[in-house]
Structure 1
Amino acid sequence: MSALDGAVVVNGRFLTHATTGVQRFAREIVRELAPLVPLVVVAPTGPLIDADLGAKVVQIGHRHGHAWEQLDLPTFLRRSGSPLLLGLATTGPVRYRPQIVAHHDITYVRHPESFARSFRLLYRVLIPSVLRSSARVITVSDFSAAEIAQHYRVPRSKLRIVPNAVSPGFVGPGSAHDEGVPYLLAVSSPNRHKNFGALLAAFRDAELTHIRRLVIVGSQGRAFHSAASGRLEDNVRFLGRVGDADLASLYRGATAFAFPSLYEGFGIPPLEAQSLGTPVLASRSASLPNVLGDSALWVDPRDVDDIRRGIERLDRDEELRIELSRRGQLNAQRFSWSASARKVADVVDEVKAETRR
């Protein structure tokens, strides 16, 4: 009997990466999908990050990174009867079928300035072939589906929408961070398309009566260029990467949350903030209007003065903050990982039926 026992195989390369939005999607979908579909997660050898997913994990091969994904993984799968492969973290083996791949967005196309040249060149070669070889392409929003269809000419009939959601650690009461002063929170890696330069300029120029500090959470991957440079004022603090428990505490303690990004396939951080009752200021761009609806204070991300005015409104208008908190909590409840996993299960059933035929 094969080690896979007829299960759907999950491409487990994401277990070697620290958790960002893509990896969170993969982990939460696997946890919710495991009771619905027989799964085996196949991952590279060596240390894994947060591998307690409720599914069997098999480690194979001797390579790592893209080499493992393109060589070791498909070789192992073909020797194991060529089971259906489910990739939830953007990439997959270009010459393997049957396969379902999740491709979250095309930020690297729309904002190449955020990415190293080597990264862009790799994706230019890799992604078109992966999308062509996949029986279905999962993405996280209608916006991303339209972007992928337009840029890569993927038929819309091949695309399936599976939204992100809020993980359990960002739901319900808990401790609230005490910064010593009221603060505006921002969460993301400081890549250029995240627009932190505009946020820093807007905060610096804002006339504030309540908020006293901007707190920014997130680390920067090697493949990206920083948007933040120079000496920071005393009222701006970078915390770097923090764990989920500390991040939830920071959300709860914040007067408001700012998300000035120029481009998002979905945007998990504002949804996390909303789930914990924090009012959200967001850029009217990309997928965000569809994800957040009327639950955020909208600003033009390319207009520093408009961002400044938005920060000043949230600072001064307590009633607005209360109303946005209420709307935000209702909005966050529209999404759940269990519902998204059921959508993935439906996609798996589709592809299995086609494979049998």
Structure 2
Amino acid sequence: VRIMGADVVYSPANYGPLMVGRSVVLIRNSLAVAMKEVRLSKIAYWVAVASMTLLSLLVARRVVAVSRYTVDSLIHWPFGAIRKKISIVNHGVSESFGPGPSSGRRGNVLLAVGDIYIQKNYHTLIEVFRRLLVRHPDLVLSIAGRPVDRDYADSLKTTIATLGLEGKVNFLGHVAPEDLARLYRECRVFAFPSTVETFGNPLVEALACGAPVACSNRTAMPEIAGDAVEFFDPEDAGSMLAAIERLLTDEARCAELSRLAVARASHFSWERSAAEVAAILKQAAS
């Protein structure tokens, strides 16, 4: 950093260099994920992340949080002293995500988007999907996201085989933005079952595309989604089932949420986010 002559160092992933006088750290990964883990290797990983995050926040000149939830969650860790350094800057959403031309009736896909980690709660969604098939036998579950946690991804495939859902659940892997926008626009319902999120980019993308959304009521989701989704308790399969079932059967509610979703997504702009972060970097450099 000294050789480069940088005026300020921006670290966009929770932690950064500790021996830099002028640094800004972005908090975008929730440390609460550690509470969802039972695997020792994963717990050790999150303990290391928490330790590096604490040290980085203590030495940083400014801290950027992507939601109010992110700020509040830090108080449960030994980070209270750094609260005065924190500014909230929401993520934005790409202009490639929008409602597009109306194509009439939606398809038969229950869509979920997000890389595969345990906190994404896909195991509960798969169980709920099995129960939905009793009344909606043509429904298909598509999950777009990379299998980052391969052990968890393998356990999901085992569950699918055990429940006899082969051919009804599709893992799409990484999907390009233009194809992802089409999936949002055409899905019957978008489900966001995560138990822990600091923001939820796929949630805002789905809202921007006008998808009817059934969404977890935990962590940052109520703050981000507002009144534009059907909420459920992500750890209660019955609650999740009821929310998705309503959207599968209530066309008026879906139309209402689709309208509210596009309006809600308009609050999130990468241009505004960039301007706010740039102002923070200038302050930190001075």
TM exceeding 0.5: yes
- Counterpart position of 2:67: 141
2:34 to 109, 115, 132: 109
The CA distance in 1 between the partners of 2:151 and 2:77, in whole Å, is 22
The CA distance in 1 between the partners of 2:75 and 2:89, in whole Å, is 16
Report the Cα offset of residue 121 of structure 1.
4.4
Report the Cα offset of residue 188 of structure 1.
1.2
Could you tell me which runs of 5 or more consecutive residues in structure 2 were left unpaired when the two chains were aligned: none
Paired residue type of 1:173: G
For the 8 Å contact 1:266–1:291, the answer to whether it is kept is yes
Could you tell me which runs of 5 or more consecutive residues in structure 1 were left unpaired when the two chains were aligned: 1-76
Asked if 1:163 is matched to 2:90, the reply is yes
Asked if 1:99 is matched to 2:26, the reply is no
After TM superposition, the score normalised by the length of structure 1 is 0.71
Paired residue type of 1:127: T
- Counterpart position of 1:228: 156
For the 8 Å contact 1:189–1:219, the answer to whether it is kept is yes
Report the Cα offset of residue 306 of structure 1.
1.2
Matches within 5 A, 1:1-150: 77-104=1-28, 105-113=30-38, 116-117=42-43, 119-150=45-76
- Counterpart position of 1:341: 274
Asked if 1:287 is matched to 2:203, the reply is no
User: Partner of 2:111: helix, strand, or coil?
Assistant: strand
After TM superposition, the score normalised by the length of structure 2 is 0.88
CA displacement 1:162-208 (0-9 Å, x = unmatched): 101211221352798x99x5111000122111111111111111243
User: Partner of 2:156: helix, strand, or coil?
Assistant: coil
2:139 to 212, 216, 220: 212
The CA distance in 2 between the partners of 1:109 and 1:243, in whole Å, is 30
For the 8 Å contact 1:139–1:159, the answer to whether it is kept is yes
- Counterpart position of 1:38: none
Shift of the 242–269 alpha-carbon distance from structure 1 to 2, 3 Å rule, reads same
Report the Cα offset of residue 270 of structure 1.
1.4
Report the Cα offset of residue 221 of structure 1.
1.6
Q: CA RMSD in A?
A: 2.4
Asked if 1:313 is matched to 2:229, the reply is no
- Counterpart position of 1:16: none
Report the Cα offset of residue 338 of structure 1.
1.1
For the 8 Å contact 2:99–2:262, the answer to whether it is kept is no
Shift of the 126–174 alpha-carbon distance from structure 1 to 2, 3 Å rule, reads farther
The CA distance in 1 between the partners of 2:48 and 2:125, in whole Å, is 31
For the 8 Å contact 2:114–2:145, the answer to whether it is kept is yes
User: Partner of 1:261: helix, strand, or coil?
Assistant: coil
For the 8 Å contact 1:203–1:311, the answer to whether it is kept is no
For the 8 Å contact 2:116–2:149, the answer to whether it is kept is no
Paired residue type of 2:37: P
2:174 to 241, 251, 255: 241
The CA distance in 2 between the partners of 1:284 and 1:124, in whole Å, is 24
Question: In terms of Rg, which structure is larger?
Answer: 1
Report the Cα offset of residue 113 of structure 1.
4.2
Shift of the 130–175 alpha-carbon distance from structure 1 to 2, 3 Å rule, reads farther
For the 8 Å contact 1:209–1:316, the answer to whether it is kept is no
The CA distance in 2 between the partners of 1:148 and 1:205, in whole Å, is 37
Report the Cα offset of residue 209 of structure 1.
4.2
CA displacement 1:193-245 (0-9 Å, x = unmatched): 11111111111112434861111111122587335131161322111111111
For the 8 Å contact 2:191–2:214, the answer to whether it is kept is yes
For the 8 Å contact 2:33–2:196, the answer to whether it is kept is no
The CA distance in 1 between the partners of 2:204 and 2:138, in whole Å, is 22
Shift of the 186–119 alpha-carbon distance from structure 1 to 2, 3 Å rule, reads same
Paired residue type of 1:300: D
- Name the % identity: 29
Structure with more relative contact order (C-alpha pairs < 8 Å, separation 6 or more): 2
The CA distance in 2 between the partners of 1:107 and 1:134, in whole Å, is 21
User: Partner of 2:231: helix, strand, or coil?
Assistant: strand
CA displacement 1:124-145 (0-9 Å, x = unmatched): 4422211111101111000001
